[in-house]
Amino acid sequence: MSAVAARRNLRVTRGRVAIERLEIRFGGQAAVADFSLRVEPGEFVCLLGPSGCGKSTVLNSVAGFIPPSRGQVAVDGAVVTGPGPERGMVFQQHSLFPWKTVRDNVAFGPRMQGRSKAEADALARRYLDLVGLGSSADRYPATLSGGMAQRVGIARALVNHPSVLLMDEPFGALDAQTRAIMQESLLRLWSRIGNTVLFVTHDIDEALFLSDRVVVMSAAPGRVLLDLTVDLPRPRPDDVFADPAFAEHKRQCLKLIRQESRRAFEFADGAGI
């Protein structure tokens, strides 16, 4: 059991992610180069970095949507060669089927896994309850607020019991209040379920509030510049932002991200863009 899981008193044994010297090229250009990262079962890790540094590319590669040009990604010792139910993805813009009800969107995964309609519906109900949307099962995605749609997206990912939950700026399109509520409710879910979370965000406060570790990436091609253990107790109080340790972590991340954003901008400038 990892130290992180022990702290939360959960026996998490699945969800170890090992990214080894990952390189991903699009055409002639490397989006990610020499990117290595190990994540323990049950750990919550955020990826931060300037726009275009390859955060989504790394996540998509762990999801199995993008094959490595070099290096590899393994989950619990098995090399990732394509998507799999043990890795669930939540995107920035929800990707729900507009023609299906909320229930059928969540039941879709279990149905694809061969569950009967009754079983899949029962599972959908359970996970919708978990994200506080049990009473919205018959609604269609177009009638939901942004926060509700993201909750359905989370239920749809969790219903497959993924050992690794991949989240690409899942709260990026939400207003500040909804975002704060979603962060708290995600942490509650995570502490009950105990899966590994790999979470991409632009927001340093969000990263520090949520995670056990914050990984700051360099400008493209993205690699790990800083792997910071967030030394703040859990559950984190509302005023954790005022903690001197939080301020120090934030200063460290901000400095690096500013430096890398400037580098990316100068590069684009030099290329005459």
Stretch of residues binding ligand ATP (CB under 6 A), selected from 49-57, 98-106, 117-125, 237-245: 49-57
Which position among 51, 95, 113, 229 is part of the footprint of ligand ATP (CB under 6 A)? 51
Query: Cα–Cα distance between 229 and 37 in angstroms, integer?
Result: 13
Site size for ligand ATP, by CB under 6 A? 11
- Neighbouring residues of 199: CB distance < 8 A, sequence distance ≥ 6: 44, 45, 46, 47, 167, 170, 207, 210, 211
Coil, strand or helix at 3? helix
Q: Which of residues 203-232 bind ligand ATP (CB under 6 A)?
A: 220
In the list ligand ATP, Mg ion, none, the entry touching 194 (Cβ below 5 to 8 angstroms by class) is none
Query: Cα–Cα distance between 149 and 130 in angstroms, integer?
Result: 14
In the list Mg ion, ligand ATP, none, the entry touching 84 (Cβ below 5 to 8 angstroms by class) is none
Query: Cα–Cα distance between 57 and 65 in angstroms, integer?
Result: 9
- Cβ(194)–Cβ(5) below 8 Å: yes
31 binds ligand ATP (CB under 6 A): yes
Q: Which of residues 234-263 bind Mg ion (CB under 5 A)?
A: none
Instruction: Tell me the per-residue interface mask from 52 to 81 with ligand ATP, x by CB under 6 A, - otherwise.
Output: xxxxxx------------------------
Stretch of residues binding ligand ATP (CB under 6 A), selected from 3-11, 50-58, 72-80, 178-186: 50-58
Residue with Cβ nearer ligand ATP (32 or 187)? 32
Nearest to 230 by CA among 17, 43, 15, 11: 43
Which position among 2, 56, 61, 163 is part of the footprint of Mg ion (CB under 5 A)? 56
Beta strands in 103-154 (DSSP E): none
Residue with Cβ nearer ligand ATP (51 or 113)? 51
Cα→Cα distances 95→90, 106, 126, 150, 199, Å: 8, 12, 21, 9, 17
26 binds ligand ATP (CB under 6 A): yes
Query: Cα–Cα distance between 156 and 127 in angstroms, integer?
Result: 8
Site for Mg ion, rule CB under 5 A: 56
Interface with ligand ATP (CB under 6 A): 26, 31, 49, 51-57, 220
